Structure 1
Amino acid sequence: MFMGGGYNLSSGDPLARIKKRKPILSQHWLPVAQQSTTWTQEMVWLIENDLDFKAAKKQPIFERFPMLETTSQIPEIAFELIKANFMNLGYFQGLNSAVKVPSWKTIDEAPSPRFIKTHLPLSLLPPSLLSTAKVIYVARDPRDVAVSYYYLHKMVIKTLMRSTFTHFWDAFRRDLLPWTPIIEHTNEAWELRHKKNMHFLFYEDMLKDLPKVIRGVCKFLDREYSDDQVTQLADHLSFKSFKKNKTVNNNTNENGDIEFIRKGEAGGWRTHFDAKMEVQAEEFLSTKLKGLTLKYPSLCNTDGECTYL
């Protein structure tokens, strides 16, 4: 594990190259800390491609919206382990082909507008990013992020994943997992949320009123759609529809006991945390959020009063 800029990363060698990149106006960046990535990717791609649902179904999301650090944060030896333990070799072959070429090369050769996903925090991305490209950041209750992150690990490397959620949560709250610490990651974007080229989203708001969120993203991207078109996109992005969409639901488990698109809900952490873990979560949030203005919707009441602030 490599510590870069205060964050846990798999490798540090390519970071300088990534940070020196020069973003351009035709690029759309989606920085996220392991949360709700695919849902937002599909929404943004369709908004910028005239709601071309047919085109979206012809190409998997990882090709339409490549991840910046794929080839830098998955060391070769780890990638071979993933390959040996992957549960859906058909999907893996497509991912394998994508990884053979450096992700930044794929991005540079992509047609405009370019779409870029990354789990890297803003401090490890090019300094000129917010003045030269559109950035959409997605945040989520850290407790739900921990659950989602756990199942992602189980899905990808099932036979290597021996730990229980209790052990995984312990590593998560102690900032020992890749791309953590999570709240510091999110707070970087939160502090820049008023910048012209930054659009900050909460997963919980997407669940609460997806059409409203879609309209907000459309405005941010200078795109206009009718109410009927917004409804059509919201229906396409519905949890029921999303689970059936093979270009976004990278379900690697042929037995169906672990799913890439899981519940599509907020507060699912409650079914995974025991009493001791709930106390740990309270301490974790209290310590991490102390002195910050970051307001997670799940920690605030209808009057805007937020726990830990």
Structure 2
Amino acid sequence: MAPWLELPYDITKVTAEEDKIIKRCLTGYTRPFVKCGKAGYVMPSSFTKCAETIYNMKVRPDDVWVITFPRSGTTWTQELVWLAENDLDYETAKRIPLHERFPMLETTTQIPDIAFELIKMNFMNLSSFQGLGSAVRESSWETIDKAPSPRYIKTHLPLSLLPPSLLDTAKVVYVARDPRDVCVSYYFLHKMVVKNLFKIQFHHFWEAFRRDLLPWTPIVAHTNEAWVKRYHRNLHFVFYEDLIENLPNQIRRLCTFLGRKYSDEQIENLAHHLSFDSLRKNKKVNNTIGDDGVQFIRKGEAGNWKEHFDPKLELEAEEFLIERLRGLDLNYPSISLVENTYL
């Protein structure tokens, strides 16, 4: 049995001012948020109790993990990976929700303090949203630990907060996306989940995002952790924008990484299944629709941020990217002009 490892990083509470900014954007959290590691990844305080357990989680050789920052094409990639790994078993995919086939590691830590009982009562149909119902009955990481092999695991945690044996043991798919598009999609996710309780405007949400004061931020550090290991034999790194540009080609690349081979016709059929028009209609994938028409799976576009950033926010975003990317060779395909011009 492997020795139990102590955390190699510190967990500290955010300042009172930072906590106020975070909670302005998030509803239902009563305890101070925390920052983890040198990068200061923001997490709810409940993460403190399970961080060491997650870090020591036993990784299996036949695991497949999908790691992303939130709203970076996670659901899209999960459905792709699961079908590629399961001989394109569309019938099972139609019967079993994606969050059961491909559960999220840290779901339980993300549930607001006051929401546990509401979820148990299925208030506003919350128990059916992305596996929250099961996550309040048993810790999500415990459920995954007990699951039979092969396991398909989703997480938004960066590599540094995950088991150190992960990359040397299992296959990992990391998807990155333009931070500006991520922020817009992240905003609408929260708007969908808490509905009428979500009162803030986008510019307030952006302010928290660019100050790295939302869960799982800082986004560039998160992505760079995977980027610098992109040549590892067990890591498949892909940009959301490349999936948008040529999905069949990216399916082929991913299947090669997974050791799967399909005909051109099968690839085209899979690409059709994964089209956003198709996924929006798929209740086993897009299982929640808000009253105001905001869906868990939104537009599936690259560059939609331009519709939400006024000139002031656009300038702030440019400055944010210049600062965060300085000294890195991380090259987002949609913001290479910013890099080449200013860095």
Looking at structure 2, the residues matched to 93 and 171 of structure 1 have their Cα atoms a distance apart, in angstroms, of 24
Partner in structure 2 of residue 102 of structure 1: 139
Which blocks of at least 5 consecutive residues in structure 2 are unaligned?
Answer: 1-32
Identity %: 62
Query: In the alignment, is the contact (CA less than 8 A) between 1:156 and 1:252 conserved in 2?
Result: no
Aligned length, in residue pairs: 306
Query: In the alignment, is the contact (CA less than 8 A) between 1:26 and 1:112 conserved in 2?
Result: yes
**Structure 2 CA distance for partners of 1:99 and 1:156, relative to 1, 3 Å:** same
Partner in structure 2 of residue 297 of structure 1: 333
Map 1:256-267 → 2, pairs under 5 A: 256-267=292-303
Q: Which amino acid aligns with 1:263?
A: K
Q: Which amino acid aligns with 2:268?
A: T
SS in 2 for 1:66: coil
Q: 1:45 aligns with which of 65, 75, 82?
A: 82
Answer yes or no: is 1:272 the counterpart of 2:314: no
1:244-278 deviation per Cα after TM superposition (whole angstroms, max 9, x unaligned): 1000102231x342111111100000000011000
Query: In the alignment, is the contact (CA less than 8 A) between 2:104 and 2:153 conserved in 1?
Result: yes
Partner in structure 1 of residue 232 of structure 2: 195
Q: Which amino acid aligns with 1:8?
A: V
Query: In the alignment, is the contact (CA less than 8 A) between 2:41 and 2:218 conserved in 1?
Result: yes
Provide the TM-score with structure 2 as the length reference. 0.84
Query: In the alignment, is the contact (CA less than 8 A) between 2:57 and 2:145 conserved in 1?
Result: no
For residue 75 of structure 1, report the CA deviation from its aligned partner.
4.6
1:135-176 deviation per Cα after TM superposition (whole angstroms, max 9, x unaligned): 100100000000010011111111321110010001100011
Answer yes or no: is 1:4 the counterpart of 2:41: no
Provide the TM-score with structure 1 as the length reference. 0.93
**Structure 2 CA distance for partners of 1:289 and 1:113, relative to 1, 3 Å:** same
For residue 94 of structure 1, report the CA deviation from its aligned partner.
5.7
For residue 110 of structure 1, report the CA deviation from its aligned partner.
2.2
Higher relative contact order, chain-length normalized (CA < 8 Å, sep 6+): 1
Partner in structure 2 of residue 31 of structure 1: 67
Answer yes or no: is 1:285 the counterpart of 2:285: no
Of residues 41-50 and 153-162 in structure 1, the stretch that sits farther from structure 2 once superposed is: 153-162
Query: In the alignment, is the contact (CA less than 8 A) between 1:171 and 1:177 conserved in 2?
Result: yes
For residue 99 of structure 1, report the CA deviation from its aligned partner.
3.5
**Structure 2 CA distance for partners of 1:117 and 1:163, relative to 1, 3 Å:** same
Looking at structure 2, the residues matched to 117 and 162 of structure 1 have their Cα atoms a distance apart, in angstroms, of 29
SS in 2 for 1:300: helix
For residue 209 of structure 1, report the CA deviation from its aligned partner.
0.3
For residue 299 of structure 1, report the CA deviation from its aligned partner.
1.4
1:108-144 deviation per Cα after TM superposition (whole angstroms, max 9, x unaligned): 2323210000011100001111000101001000000
**Structure 2 CA distance for partners of 1:149 and 1:93, relative to 1, 3 Å:** closer
Q: 2:191 aligns with which of 154, 174, 186?
A: 154
1:171-204 deviation per Cα after TM superposition (whole angstroms, max 9, x unaligned): 1000110100010100000011000100001000
**Structure 2 CA distance for partners of 1:293 and 1:81, relative to 1, 3 Å:** farther
Q: Which amino acid aligns with 2:329?
A: T
Map 1:74-223 → 2, pairs under 5 A: 74-80=111-117, 87-89=124-126, 91-92=128-129, 95-223=132-260
